[in-house]
Amino acid sequence: MSAPLLEVRSIAARLGRVPVLSDVSLSVPARAVVALLGRNGVGKTTTLRTVMGTVAATDGRIGFAGQDITRLAAYRRPALGIGYVPQGRGIFPLLTVRENMRLGLRGAPDPTVEEGLLSRFPRLRERLAQKAGTMSGGEQQMLAIARALMTQPKLLILDEPTEGIMPRLVAEIRRFIAEIAASGIAVLLVEQNLKAALAIADHVVVMERGRTAFAGPPGTLRADADLVHRLLGVGIPT
Ligand SMILES: Nc1ncnc2c1ncn2[C@@H]1O[C@H](COP(=O)(O)OP(=O)(O)OP(=O)(O)O)[C@@H](O)[C@H]1O
């Protein structure tokens, strides 16, 4: 079997002096969707930030596309093919939609890529010259995803993409994520909603206080109501 696209092996990390991650492992195969779950505060966001390099791994190893990136500078990681949409989206409200979309690029935008994204996100096309801060939370989330896709990543990392978004747009954003995955881009997604995670993911990883407590196919997690209750405090969704 070929190596996974992203392989996080037994990483540890601190925020200030606080040890937040002690033993996190997860793999994202090429073209797969992996959902990262866990109660509030277990370290999901810190895990993603360690992959992106804005938090340093104090132990363990992070590999991407066959390269050891554990100590690679954060600013060099996106260029390897990792797109990241942080929690809270990271949109610049006073810049226009078009300016936000092009923000992560190092050179001129590829017109075919930009055009393809605007066809997929017609709400963004209609608002290209508008300041991003005037859009709804769901539209800003679409913009953040489109911005990450402008760099044509092999892996898209999304931190709670539907958090705080009105229900009508939640379904639309979930559909976009499924489409992105179907187009062959691997997705690593932090998702609070267990039902949505089980529906979209090929693999599920559940964290508990700074470590990986479960990693496997959604069906295995779904079959273990006791484990789901212990790790997530919820029942199995119907
Ligand atoms: N700057 C900081 N210094 C020390 N501890 C922090 C800091 N920021 C966050 N923490 C703690 O680190 C832990 C992990 O936080 P993290 O945001 O990674 O968790 P999470 O699983 O993503 O949570 P949520 O679902 O609430 O976003 C939490 O217990 C949090 O209180």
Its pTM stands at 0.94
Per-residue pLDDT at 1: 54
pLDDT tens digits for the chain (238 residues)?
Answer: 568 999 999 999 999 999 999 999 999 999 999 999 999 999 999 999 999 999 999 999 999 999 999 999 999 999 999 999 998 888 999 999 999 999 878 788 889 999 999 998 898 999 999 999 999 888 999 999 999 999 999 999 999 999 888 888 888 888 999 999 999 999 999 998 999 999 999 999 999 999 999 999 999 999 999 999 999 999 988 8
Per-residue pLDDT at 109: 84
Could you tell me whether strands 155-159 and 186-190 are parallel, antiparallel, or unpaired per DSSP bridges? parallel
Per-residue pLDDT at 105: 81
Which residues, listed in sequence order, are joined to residue 211 by a DSSP beta bridge?
23, 208
Nearest atom in ligand 1 to the alpha carbon of residue 87 is 27
What domains are there in the chain, each with its CATH number?
A: 6-81+153-232 (3.40.50.300)
- Give the closest residue (by CA) to ligand 1 atom 7: 15
Interface confidence (ipTM) of the complex: 0.93
HEC letters along 8-36: EEEEEEEECCEEEEEEEEEEECCCCEEEE
Residues framing ligand 1 (Cβ under 6 A): 15-16, 18, 20, 38, 40-46
- Give the closest residue (by CA) to ligand 1 atom 4: 15
Nearest atom in ligand 1 to the alpha carbon of residue 43 is 18
Nearest atom in ligand 1 to the alpha carbon of residue 210 is 14
40 C-alpha to ligand 1 centroid (Å): 8
Quick one: DSSP state of residue 131? Answer: B
113 C-alpha to ligand 1 centroid (Å): 35
Q: Which two tokens stand for residue 162?
A: 């539907």
CA distance 158 to 62: 18
- Give the closest residue (by CA) to ligand 1 atom 29: 41
2 C-alpha to ligand 1 centroid (Å): 33
Q: Which of 46, 159, 206 to mutate to test the pocket of ligand 1 (most atoms within 8 A of CB)?
A: 46
Is-contact 47 208, C-beta < 8 A? Answer: no
Per-residue pLDDT at 90: 85
Q: Which of 34, 24, 9 has its CA nearest to residue 188? A: 34
Q: Which of 37, 39, 42 to mutate to test the pocket of ligand 1 (most atoms within 8 A of CB)?
A: 42
